[in-house]
Amino acid sequence: MLGNTLSDCGRAEEAKAPYKRYTDRFPSSREARYELALALDATGRIGEAAAQLREVLSLIPGLLDAYNKLGVTSATLGKFDDAETYFKSALAIRPDFPDALYGLASCSKILSEAQTAAKIESYLAADKPAEKQTLLHFALGKIYDDLGNYPRAFEHYKKGNDIVDAAAGFDANVWATFLDRIESTFTRRFFSDRTSFGSDSRQPIFIFGVPRSGTTLVEQIIGSHPQVATAGELDAIPEMTWNLQGRFGLEASYPECMNELDGKAIRTLADAYLAEVNARGPAAARVTDKMRGDFVHLGLLALVFPKATFIHCRRDSLDTCLSCYFTRLSPRNGFAHNLRNLGLYYRGYRKLMAHWAEALPVSMLEVGYEDLIADQEGVSRRVIAHCDLEWDDRCLSFHETLRPVHTGSVWQVRQPLYKTAVKRWQHYEAFLGPLRAALEERLSR
């Protein structure tokens, strides 16, 4: 119960200990082993999580969730043959299992057959919970896209997104107002008054941008360098902003409360962040943090780590937004399930990045996805040089680097660079009217 409570509170690191104590005492407990595997997975211990899941299957050979989770962890580690085997093992037990159908479709093109699509269409007729219907729609969207049947693909992607959007709760005007507050707080004057604040650490490499803009690809290139460790998408910076007011007893909320912090408080924040990063594994010379949405918090990051590396990933707006719409992103991305909201979110992001270009006192490298596709070595060398690292040829073979990848790009970043994702929106141009209009819309506040 303690492990479950900690997991429910998002404290997976702490949850591992009570689960481990329980499984040591009761080795045949399938439930505790499964929950321990989830906690290990959530804290980046993917190999250990997979081992626990295999133990679970030795106790209960037909457990669907264990097969499916093993498929997910195998794909995360780039072991797609194993992932296919586990997903198919689940489907051999239950052919209409939505999680396995979605997992199988997402990590390769192995389901791209018309008869497979027809079979999944028939499963939609059954009375399934909304979340399971969403998985089936996204699986069908992927299959029809692979088949080149773009109207049918968009139809299913839209149906899947409509289900999620009904509960997403994204408010474009709230988003725009928050960005205005960010811009009003983090001005050039704000930074010029605080030149002595912040840490001297050069360890962090911050990689950011809108989802599906190439952040995972850039992280994989940098992470292939032997002097770099990858931390994935850390919640450390968002959590820092949520806790600032209470932690220091400040009058205002974030971002306005930043005006109340002195140099000592800023260095305290830096030390806490570095401790959390290095607690995830052996300390490395450089560590990447690929929390994409940290582009909102660049003012905080530039103040706390003025000597860190900042890399902004950018991609064609229509390709970026469409890829978001076609990817089952985490619940925090509530904007991604509605084309109009996607356009308004992207418009706010574009406006904020223009502000940062004027206000931030740090050097920021912008990496265009299309530029990287066109000149892999040239752009990769600029990225590595910006990180103040010597070039290493392993950065060109990023798809061979064995490390966990948790995002929707899990399959793509294991492949050599390909050009088919450039101008992909042209296949769906007839459906993008609401997105195009929103990208140019002026928000009312």
- pLDDT-derived band at 379, boundaries 50, 70, 90: very high
Assess if residue 400 is contained within a domain: yes
CA angle 132, 133, 138 (to 5 degrees): 100
Q: For residue 104, tell me if it sits in a domain.
A: no
Segments forming the whole domain that contains residue 221:
172-312+333-419
116 or 136: which leads in pLDDT: 136
Domain assignment of residue 205, yes or no: yes
Per the structure block, which two tokens stand in for 202? 């050069």
Q: Which residue has the tokens 């939505």?
A: 98
User: Judging by beta carbons within 10 Å of its beta carbon (0-12, 13-18, 19+), is residue 17 exposed, middle or buried?
Assistant: middle
Q: Give the CATH number of the domain where residue 377 resides.
A: 3.40.50.300
Domain count, the chain: 1
Q: Cβ atoms within 10 A of the Cβ of 232, count?
A: 18
- One-letter amino acid for residue 270 of the chain: A
346 within domain boundaries: yes
Residue 285 lies in a domain: yes
Least confident of 104-108, 315-319, 398-402: 398-402
200: three-class secondary structure by DSSP:
coil
pLDDT of 406 reads 46
For residue 69 the two structure tokens come to 């989770």
- Domain annotation covers residue 393: yes
Q: Which H helix or E strand runs over 204?
A: strand 204-208
User: What is the per-residue pLDDT across 28-75, written as a single tens digit (0 to 9) for each?
Assistant: 888 999 999 999 888 878 888 999 999 999 988 888 999 999 999 988
Asked whether 255 and 186 are in contact (CB, 8 A), the reply is yes
Q: Which of 46, 34, 113 is nearest to 82 (CA)?
A: 46
In angstroms, the Cα distances linking 232 to 10, 210, 285, 290, 291 are: 17, 15, 16, 5, 7
In this structure, which amino acid lies at residue 111? Answer: L
The reply to whether 411 falls in a domain is yes
pLDDT tens digit string along 214-258? 998 999 999 999 999 988 888 899 999 999 999 999 999 999 999
How many whole angstroms separate alpha carbon 97 and alpha carbon 136? Answer: 9
In the prediction, which pLDDT does 107 show?
Answer: 78
In a domain, 265, yes or no: yes
Q: What single-letter amino acid sits at 150?
A: Y
Across the chain, mean pLDDT equals 89
pLDDT of 414 over the 90 cut = no
pTM for this predicted structure: 0.88
Sign of torsion over alpha carbons 130, 118, 88, 84: negative
Residue 112 is predicted with a pLDDT of 55
Which tops the pLDDT comparison, 415 or 75?
Answer: 75
Confidence class for position 128, pLDDT limits 50, 70, 90: confident
